[in-house]
Structures are given as structure tokens and as C-alpha cells.
Structure 1
Amino acid sequence: MLKKPESDEYAPYYEKYVSSIPEGDLLQILDEQMKETMNLVKDLNEDQAHFRYAPEKWTVKEVIGHITDTERIMSYRLLCIGRGEMAKLPGYDDNQYVKNGKFNHFSIGELSAQLSQVRQNTIALLKSLDDEALLRRGNANGTGVTARAIAYIIAGHELHHRTLIKDRYMGAESFGGAHE
């Protein structure tokens, strides 16, 4: 079982993500999370998928695209650090990625399928890393981080955005139809 990382294994910014994940089998948590996210968005119509809870905020589609892109990037970091990469891994501008991703041109089904596939790949990657690899430390976006911390950041990031979808998007009066 993959134990939670210590606070010195990641930048303080990521504490909100790491601390949101309960103790337990992280592989099972990642799998269950994806099922919950897929269930949350599977019945959205196009109007709901294009909903923004405030001006300049992302649409639901853009949030799903952002979760997917971030997991791709974090999984790459997980692979690099787990394999012993010593080069500093770059950061990224999530707003630029969302803008250039043009996620609103895809159906919510297409975006959900991409996210599900990326999550399956993340789980497969995690299964391939032994304890030694998971404890390796590297540098991503200018800060030290371990591979296992990245695994928890992936889970916490997805949970954070799923919660936002439920609370700020689906919880808005103007969302367009009841979705429990």
C-alpha cells in the first residue's frame, strides 16, 4: 500500500490536494474517483457542459479538459522522477493549456473518455513503480517532490475539481436542470 507522503516531499501549495485524500489503497482510490467523476458528468447536456458559474471561469468541459491535461503532466513527472530523472521538469500555465485545448469543441463524452483513459494509464504507471522508485525525489516547477507525492497530488487535484463541479457548477441556480 502506498503511504501518504510527508509534508517535506512536496511544495506547500499541494497540501490541500494531498490532505484531501484519505488513508487507504491509493490505486483503489484513484479507480473509485474516476467512477465517481464519470457518474457525475455522464448525463450532462451540452448547455450544462458549456456552463460557467461566473464570467471568465472555465466551462465544465474546460474543467474536465484541465483535469485531463494536468494528470497527463503529473503522470509524466511521476514517470520521470520514478525513473531517476535529475533534470528540472518545467511548470506549465494551466490557463494557456485550457485556452489552447479548445475543449468546448469536444463533446462531454469525448472529454470524459480521454480522462478515463488517462486515469487508467496513471494507474498502470503506478503499478509499475516499486517502493524505491516512489520515494525518489526530483524537481518539478522549481521545487522538490517525490514520485509518491505526485501520485497523491493527482488524486487530490481531481477530487478538488470534481468538488468544484458539484458545488459551484451543478449547485448554481442557473445550471439548467436538476442534477443530483
Structure 2
Amino acid sequence: MLKRPSHEDYPEYYRGYVGLVPEGDFVSIIEEQQKVMKDLISSISDIQANHRYAPGKWSLKEVFGHIIDTERIMSYRLLRFARGDQTPLAGFNENFFVENAGFDKLSMTDLLEEYMSVRQSTLALVRGLPEESWVRKGIANEKVTSTTALAYIIAGHELHHLNIMKERYLGQ
């Protein structure tokens, strides 16, 4: 069972994300997240998904696309670090990614399909890693991070944005 990473295993700015992840079996947690996200996204129309709660804020589609992009990037980092790669990895500008993604032109069905593929890939990676991979560390965005922390960051990042989607976009 994957243990929660210590604060020394990741940069401080990820503490909020890691702290959102409940205790329990990590794979079960992200499998359940996938079900929750699928149910939520399936209930949102494309018209609702184009909503911006304030001028200059991302649309709900863009928030969802950002979740997908971030998981893809963090999962890639997790793979590299788990395999022992010590090559420092660059950071990314989330706003630049969203601006250039065209998420608002995609349907929620298309975005959900992409999300499901990315999450299934993350699940396959996490399930298949040998135990010794979970203590390995690497450098991303000039900060040392462990593979375990990256897994928790993926889960916590999604929970963070799921809460924003519910509160600011859907009034839940």
C-alpha cells in the first residue's frame, strides 16, 4: 500500500493538494475519483461547460482540460523518476497550456474520453511500479519530488479542481 509522502518529498506549494487526498488504498482512491469525475462531467451540458464564473477566468471546459493536462504531465514525471531518470525536467505554464489547447472547441464527451484515457494510463502505471520505485526522486521545475508525492499530487490536484468546479461553476 502506498504511504502518504512526507513534506520533505515535494515542494511546499503542493502541500494543499497532497493534504486533500484521503487516507486509504491509493489505487482505490483514484479509481473512485475517476467514477466521481465521470458522473459529474456526464451531467454537464456543453453550454454549461462554456460558463466562466467571472471575466478572465477559465471556462469549466478549460478547468477540466487543465486537470487532464496536469495529470498527463505529472504522470510523465512519475514515470521518469520511477525509472531512476535523474535528468531535470522543465516546469510548465498552465495558463499557456490552456490558452493554446482549444478546450472550448471540444465537446464534454470528447474531454471526458480523453480524461478516462489519461486516468487509465495513470492507473496502469501506478499498479505496475515495483515497490522500490516509490522512494525514488527526481527534479522537476527545479524542485526535488518523489514518485509517491507525484501520485498524491495527481490525486490532490484533481480534488482541488473538482471542488472549484462544484462550488464556482455548478453551485453545489
With normalisation by structure 1, the TM-score equals 0.94
How is 1:63-74 mapped onto 2 (pairs within 5 angstroms)? 63-74=63-74
Whole-Å separation in 2 of the counterparts to 1:150 and 1:4: 11
Q: Output the amino acid matched with 1:34.
A: Q
| SS of alignment partner, residue 138 of structure 2 | strand
Q: Distance in 2 between matches of 1:128 and 1:78?
A: 12
Give the aligned partner of residue 84 of structure 2.
84
Q: Deviations over 1:93-151 (max 9, x none)?
A: 00000011100110001001101110010010011112211110110111000001000
Counterpart amino acid of 1:69?
D
Q: What is the CA–CA distance in structure 2 between the aligned matches of 1:103 and 1:147, rounded to whole Å?
A: 29
**Percent of counterpart pairs with the same letter?**
47
In structure 2, the partner of 1:95 is 95
In the alignment, what sits opposite 2:150?
150
Q: Which runs of 5+ in 1 are unaligned?
A: 172-179
Distance 1:130 1:19 in 2: 25
CA deviation profile, 1:68-113 (whole Å, cap 9, x unmatched) = 0000000000000000011101100000000111001100010011
Return the alpha-carbon distance in structure 2 between the equivalents of residues 43 and 20 of structure 1: 24
- Matching of residue 18 in structure 1 with residue 11 in structure 2: no
Which residue number in structure 2 is paired with residue 175 of structure 1? none
Matches for 1:30-41 after TM superposition, within 5 Å: 30-41=30-41
State the AA in 2 paired with 1:60: L
Which runs of at least 4 in structure 1 moved beyond 3 Å after TM superposition? Answer: none
Q: SS of 1:54's equivalent? A: coil
Q: Normalising by structure 2, report the TM-score.
A: 0.98
CA distance in 1, matches of 2:73, 2:61: 18
Letter in 2 for 1:120: Q
Aligned-residue CA RMSD in angstroms?
A: 0.8
Which residue matches 1:170? Answer: 170
Q: 2:58 is matched with which residue?
A: 58
* Cα distance in 2, alignment partners of residues 36 and 94 from structure 1: 24
> What is the distance in 2 between the residues matched to 1:73 and 1:45?
27
Aligned to 1:133: 133
